[in-house]
Each structure stands twice: as structure tokens, then as C-alpha cells.
Amino acid sequence: MRVIHDIHGGIHPPERKALSRPGKLQPLGLPPRLVLPLSQHLGGPARPVVNVGESVQGGQVLAEASGVMSVPVHAPTSGTVRAIERRPIAHASGLEDICIELETDGQDQWVPFEGIPHWRDCEPAVLAEQVRNAGVAGMGGAGFPTAVKLTPGQQRPIELLLINGTECEPYITADDTLMQLYADRLIEGTSILAHMLDADSILIGIEDNKPEAIACVRAAANQIDAPIEVASFPTKYPSGGEKQVIEILTGMQVPSGGIPADIGIVCLNPGTAVAVQQAVIEGKPLTHRIVTLTGEALSQPCNTLACLGTPIGHLLQAVGLAPERQQRVIHGGPMMGFAVSNLDAPVTKITNCLLAPTESELPLPEEPQPCIRCGHCAEACPASLLPQQLYWYARAKDQEQLAAHRLFDCIECGACAYVCPSHIPLVQYYRAAKGQIRDSEQERKRSDNSRGRFEAREQRLEEEAAAREAKRAARKAAAQQQAESDGVDPVQAAIERAKAKKAQQDAAP
Amino acid sequence: MSLLRVTSPHTAGRQNVYSVMRDVLLATVPGILVMTWFFGPGTLINLVLGGSVALAAEYGVVALRGRNPKTAIADLSVLVTSTLLCIALPPYAPWWLIVIGVLTAVLLGKQVFGGLGYNPFNPAMVGYVVLLISFPIQMSSWALPRDLTATPGLGEALQRVFLPSSIDAMTGATPLDLLRQNTGLLFDDLMMSRPELVGWGGLGWVEVNLAFLLGGLWLLYRKVFTWHAPLAMLAALGLCALMGFDGGSSDSGGSALFHLFSGASMFAAFFIITDPVSSAVSNRGRLIFGALIGVLVYLIRTLGNYPDAVAFAVLILNFCAPFIDHYTQPTVYGTRKTNP
């Protein structure tokens, strides 16, 4: 039995997971148009390889990866490319980005795929390429290109592959549903990942509020030979943070500023593992994902398997959105999700939940009151920070103290703001302060660069002047040497020459 | 459809400043009732008079500062300040003593620094110390408990507060005073020598302390504060008393039980040093903060010139709180030296 470690802090907000009835998928129909952003992952945007008006088939590459930190985008069904232009996307700041609009034709014709069924005989690098070509990026929220995680390099041997099925955010049941329905594929995907990483041990961690998922995954793990351990641990938010789940299950901490591979761990979301299974076994690219549609403003909350690119509004209408006067639609969960500003924004590879709460369900924040330094935030912080101190320093824009109090170790989980009796939007202060520090870092780099360039120019000019001087001195020395060897005074000789020249000029006319 | 854009988290717990302050006020009720039982309606008069002055002062100053006075009043924080101060003031103290104390606490202790959350010192203790230094006679005449004298009725009490005459026979030394003034008696003999010294901490005082302990435990249960500062203070005070007890000679500093259950010990541990604004912030910091207050309380009680010591000890540690904070930052995730 694995020792379960406790993490500092954490909170127990109402879970509300039953609302979306985990374990079932509700088909909601194909939308007439799909909008596929070129950046659904962390890193460089994909490069479009289709033209407006072109007919495409399901699974066809619409945009190719633009580098190592990039993944391609595929058509989720057959249809016609109608536009490649800036569209609103689901983004915390309500930004637009380049998207490919695909008019679906309802035929759902697909290009043939080629999988690698005998993956055990295959080099990890080849499998990683297959995963990258399938467009797989982390489906837990960050969208980190999975192939990059799977090639950690020789200097970092991986001891543990950890599948993070915690799903600690209230309301969200997408991973829960996936683990219940696709347990076999999850186990196969996990085995493939372990093979690629040459990991010594394999662990799937699931919070104990998902007994069905735990049972399904355990049963599937028992079907195969490979030693895959399924561990459950007590429910607490934010146990599902990558750093937190690693500490809970291993007792180790990821070094500040480092990544799990630094301590021999690779941590992946179960959705990502299933996507890897599909990519390797069938060669099928990532074009769909499970999305939780929940909140009391919806008449039929559920989980659905949605085409990437499906407009958020299409899904919410299909499950009976009855909007209030000031409706919130939250992308992600209530603790870390962001409010969507446009329902035309599409579902992407990182969209695990769309939450449409009523105001009585999740009341709007109260007016902030002065901090009374009660310390509840420090009690709740999973990173053992002192949020109240960070708040003061953020307000004072004291970057030195913010660094000393380790602002950048904040994972923005929102536990501090949740418990704050003064309802101070603490996370917002930290985000703003991080942004300011990054800005001034950039500014410092820029001015360092300018200074460097200026100093280089000064040095170059100095060197040129010195070289000229050296040349002149060398000429002078040479002339002097010659004079000494010839016995002629060079000054006298020059005067003689000038005199001769003048005499010549005078004589000439 | 217009969508509302707000940042995460989109949900919050139920506690707010009002509920915290309300809980603190409710937790003082048992202590106030026991005090009223033993010493008569004096404390109640203090509370009503002080509370009215405090509300008026807070309202006026916040309005002058151009803020919304209604929200400042509504968080109840000023009532907590005045309540804590008025519990500490002698019952039947003249009305002007209450007014000066409360005004000092609210204006000099709190509002000059910017109001709630910005005061470096515990406002109630600022008011208390100013009174103690300025009006030592009025401040050191505490009412005698019932059984030694008849507790006054409301009319008589009001007369004593608003038409103060000279110090009368109904006030006397507190058990802590008696201990400090003791020169020749062994501790056990001293405790037998006077009717007001029955029990561990003096007639009435043990019950008062138990009542505040009860209120404090309820606040702990309600998670208004953590156990660190109160436990550290009581443990340090008890430990010091044990070490200074010397078996109970006439020089004895008094037994541990005497120190824990006499004077303002429990009241201070759960209601004064737990003021979050002016204390250290981390749990480790609050352990140190509380322990040092416990030590200082013992030292001032036994070696100092004042009968009780809580106010001075708290103010001195308020000074030290930022310093303690500097050295007690918790080890942040991912920064510890070794992984297991």
C-alpha cells in the first residue's frame, strides 16, 4: 500500500460533481461550423496548409506544427474551409487569434490512418513523432505539447510515470467520465507512455470522490501484465495540481522553478494518455475531447464528446442554457477557470469544462474589505506561501519583497481568495504583480541589450582608434629606423624634398 | 446575451469580516455575564457607554476621511475594539475614563493609521495603556466581588459612573495586587489570609477566566483564529510561573494556576493577542509572539510596578511582530533542501 502524504493547506469547497452526471456521454450533434484556433497548445502556433474554399476530410492536417514546441491541427470532420482569419477564442483576456473556419458537410468522411500496433518494438523517438503528428497536447489545462514531455533526454532518467486523475476542481467530471468509459484505452495509453519514457514504475492517482472511476481503472489495470498501480487519496482542493499530486503520492517536491522530470517524474493527464493511445494504435489524431457542461443555468447538465472547434454557444444551447441578466460562462472550473467573453469562442484541446452558474449558485464576489491579516490564506495555501504578505507587497509594487516571499511559486489555485473573509481578489493581485515583474524583467533585458550594444560600439571605436594609432606609430618607427640606418634625418630630408618640389614648381611656368 | 467577465476564483467561502467580528463579540458574552454576576452591572455600563462613543467616533472619522461610514460601522470591528477595552476597564469607572479610553483606542489606536487592517498596535490596548499611565488611581480600583460586598443595583451603579465621588469602600485590590503587595506571607498562607483569595486565582476571577476560556474555545472551533498564539502564551506563562514558584515562599511569584486563572490571562490569550492585524502572521511567528507575551506578562506581574501586564506585553510584542515575521517565513513548496 502506497503511503499517502498530506500537502499543506487546501480547502473543501462544495464539489457539485453529481450535477453533470459523470460516467455518461450525451451526443449533442455536429455544429454547422467549426472554428479551429491555430494555438490550442503552449508554444508556437501551427502553420495553415489548406486554402479557403478547399474541401477537407476528417483527420486531414489543416495546419502543421511550426517547430518543436508546436503541434498540428486536424479537421474533426469533413467539410469546406471557409475562412482563415482572426476570431474570438476562449481566453482569459477575451483575445482574438487566427482560426480556421470549417463548414461541416455532415458526411463525416475521414482520411485513412496508419497506427503502430506493434509499438513495443518501436523506438521511443518514432512513437514521439507519431504523438506529435497526431496533435496531442496536454489535456489537463496547460496544453503543453506532449511529445516534448516524452523526450526528456538521456540526462534525465524517468523513474515514475504519474497519470494525474485527481480532477480536484469542483463541478468538473470530464476526466472522471473518461476514466469510467475508456479505462482500457487509458491503461494501454499508459503502457505506451511508460515504454516511451522507459519508466520504472507507473502510477495512476485518483481522488477518493470518484469510486466508479477508481474501480474501472483498477479492473482495467488488472487485465494486463504490466505493474500499474492505481492509488486513491483523500479529496481536497488543489490536490490535482501537478506539484501537489506529486507530493501526495511520492512525498517529493518539485524544486522551485523546476519541472517534475528534475526528480525523475513525468506527470500526464488521463485524457492525454487516451489521446496517445489513439495516436499510436490507430494513428487517429486528436480531434475530439470530453467536455463537462454544467451549472444550474443549464437545464440538462452532462458530459459530451465534442468536436474541437465547436462554438461554446452551440454546446450550451444544446443543453438548455437559460441565461440570467448577467450570465457568467466559465471555461474550466470555478476555482481556476476564466470567464468567457464571447460564446462564439470554440472548444479547444484544453477545454475540460464549461460552467454556467446561476447567481444564487455561485454568488458574485462581495465588495473587498481591508485585509485584517487573519492568516486564513496562509493556512489554505498549498505552496506554504504567505498570501497576506504577498498582497501587501503587490499593492506596494515591492518587487524585491515579492521575490523574497516567492511570488513565482504561487500556482494561482485561488484557495487563499476562497477563504479570505475580506473577499480580496488575491489571485488577481498576484497575476498583476507577476505581469509587472515580467515586464520589468523584459525592460531590464532590453536596457541591458542596449547598454551592451553601446559598450560594444565604444569598444570597437576605441579598438579602431588604437589600431590607427599603432599603425601610425609603426610607420613612424619604421621611418626613424630607416633614417638611422641611412644616416639621413627624415625631417631634414622632407624639408629638402619640399624645397626641391617648390623650386620645380617655380621653374615650371 | 451579455456575459459577465470576472476573474477566478468564482466561488468563495462563507466567512466575512462581519461574521468574524460578530463571532468575537458573541464569544465575549459568557465572560461578560460572569463578570456582571460577580461585580455587578458596572461592566455592562462600560460596554454600552463605550460602544456608543466608539460607534459615533468611528462614524465621524470615517466620514471625515471621505469613506463610507456605514460600511465601516457595519463590519462591527469598532464594537470589538470598544468591547475588549470596556471589559478590561474597572466596573463603575467614571464616565470620562471610558470616553477618553475609547476615543484614544478608536482614534489614536486605529483611525490615525488608516482604520481597520492598518493599525500596528492593538487599539484596545493602546486605549488601556494611555488610561493606566494617565489615571492610575481610577484604573487600579477594581470592584469587590459579590459575597464580600453587596453588588450595586443599576441606579446606584449609574450614579457612581456619572456622578463619581471619591473612591469608596466597594473597590479594593485585585488578587494580583495582593500578591504583588505581599511581603511576609508564604504563598499558601497568603491565599488563606483574605476572603478574596479563595480558589486558584481569587474569588470570582477563576470563574471569569473560565468563562473567557469557554468563549475562546468556541472561537477556535469556529476557526476564527488558530491555537498557536493562545496556547503559546498560556504555556509560557504557566511555565514561567512554575519556575518562579519556588515552593511558595513569601517571595514566590505565585503558582501557575494562580497566574493562568487570575487577572486577564484567559481574556488576553483568546481575545487580545489573537487580534490578527497587530500580531505576527505565520503560525510559527504566532507561537513566538504568544510565548513572548506570556513571558513578559509573568515578568511584569512579578517584577514590575503594575498589577497586571497584558497591555504592556501586547504592545511591546506588537512592535516586534514585523521582526518576528521576517524570521519566520514558512518553507515554500519546492524550496526545501532535500527530497526524501
User: Are the CB atoms for B70 and B139 separated by under 8 Å?
Assistant: no
- Higher-pLDDT residue of B179, B85: B85
Q: Which residue of B has its CA nearest to A93?
A: B5
- Residue percentage of chain B with pLDDT more than 90: 59
Burial of B16 by CB count in 10 Å (0-12 exposed, 13-18 middle, 19+ buried)? middle
Cell digits of residue B186: 508564604
User: Band of the pLDDT at B84, cuts 50, 70, 90?
Assistant: very high
User: Are the CB atoms for A378 and B330 separated by under 8 Å?
Assistant: yes
pLDDT at position B167 is 52
**Nearest-CA distance B232 → chain A (Å):** 17
> Average pLDDT for residues B178-189, to the nearest whole number?
75
Assess whether pLDDT exceeds 80 at residue B205. yes
A67: number of Cβ within 10 Å: 12
A100: number of Cβ within 10 Å: 25
ipTM of the complex: 0.85
**Pairwise CB contact (< 8 Å): B12 & A417:** yes
pLDDT at position B339 is 67
pLDDT at position B256 is 86
**Nearest-CA distance B97 → chain A (Å):** 28
Question: Cα–Cα distance between A54 and A46 in angstroms, integer?
Answer: 18
> Average pLDDT for residues A161-174, to the nearest whole number?
95
Assess whether pLDDT exceeds 80 at residue A378. yes
Pairing of strands A79-88, A96-104: antiparallel
- Residue percentage of chain B with pLDDT more than 70: 95
User: Band of the pLDDT at B249, cuts 50, 70, 90?
Assistant: confident
DSSP string, B159-205: HHHHS--S--TTEE--HHHHHHH--SS-HHHHHHH-GGG-TTT-TTH
**Nearest-CA distance A383 → chain B (Å):** 5
pLDDT in tens, B151-174: 788 888 888 888 877 555 567 777
Pairing of strands A353-355, A288-294: parallel
Residues 76-135 (B) with a CB less than 8 A from some CB of A = 77, 115-118
Burial of A145 by CB count in 10 Å (0-12 exposed, 13-18 middle, 19+ buried)? buried
> Average pLDDT for residues B215-231, to the nearest whole number?
95
**Pairwise CB contact (< 8 Å): B117 & A252:** no
Least confident of A126-135, A169-178, B173-182, B324-333: B173-182
The reported pTM is 0.86
Check if B11 contacts A (Cβ < 8 Å): yes
Assess whether pLDDT exceeds 90 at residue B189. no
Task: Tabulate helix, strand, coil % of chain A (nearest 5).
Answer: 40, 15, 45
Question: Cα–Cα distance between B109 and A315 in angstroms, integer?
Answer: 57
What does the mean pLDDT of chain B come to? 88
**Pairwise CB contact (< 8 Å): A335 & B11:** yes
* Bridge partners of residue A162, in order along the sequence: A203, A267
Give the containing element (helix H, strand E) for B101. helix B95-103
Question: Cα–Cα distance between A137 and A12 in angstroms, integer?
Answer: 30
Q: Which residue of A has its CA nearest to B18?
A: A421
Check if B20 contacts A (Cβ < 8 Å): yes
Cell digits of residue A254: 518539485
> Average pLDDT for residues A479-487, to the nearest whole number?
78
**Pairwise CB contact (< 8 Å): B330 & A357:** no
Least confident of A65-69, A482-486, B255-259: A482-486
CA separation, residue A34 to residues A87, A258, A311, B306 (Å)? 12, 37, 7, 80
Interface test with B, best of A17, A369, A395 (most B CBs within 10 A): A369
Q: Which residue of A has its CA nearest to B224?
A: A374
User: Band of the pLDDT at A486, cuts 50, 70, 90?
Assistant: confident
Phi, psi of A161 (to 5 degrees): -100, 120
Closest CB to A370: pick one of B11, B117, B226: B117
pLDDT in tens, A215-263: 999 999 999 887 899 999 999 999 999 999 999 999 999 999 999 999 9
**Pairwise CB contact (< 8 Å): B8 & A374:** no
Question: Cα–Cα distance between A17 and A263 in angstroms, integer?
Answer: 33
Among residues B260, B214, B253, B268, the alpha carbon closest in space to that of B237 is found at B260
Burial of A223 by CB count in 10 Å (0-12 exposed, 13-18 middle, 19+ buried)? exposed
pLDDT at position B149 is 74
**Pairwise CB contact (< 8 Å): A369 & B19:** no
pLDDT in tens, A298-316: 999 999 999 999 999 999 9
Check if A234 contacts B (Cβ < 8 Å): no
Assess whether pLDDT exceeds 90 at residue A487. no
- Beta carbons within 8 Å of A347's beta carbon, 6+ residues apart: A90, A289, A291, A306, A307, A308, A309, A310, A311, A312, A315, A354
**Per mean pLDDT, which of A175-184, A499-508, B37-46 is the most reliable?**
A175-184
**Pairwise CB contact (< 8 Å): A364 & B6:** yes
Check if B136 contacts A (Cβ < 8 Å): no
- Exposure string of B123-144, with b = 16+ CB inside 10 Å and e = fewer, is bbbbbbbbbbeebeebbbbbbb
- Beta carbons within 8 Å of B225's beta carbon, 6+ residues apart: A374, A375, B219, B274, B276
Question: Cα–Cα distance between A165 and A232 in angstroms, integer?
Answer: 9
What does the mean pLDDT of chain A come to? 92
Phi, psi of B306 (to 5 degrees): -105, 145
Among residues A324, A8, A260, A290, the alpha carbon closest in space to that of A167 is found at A290
User: Band of the pLDDT at A95, cuts 50, 70, 90?
Assistant: confident
Residues 319-338 (B) with a CB less than 8 A from some CB of A = 325, 329-336
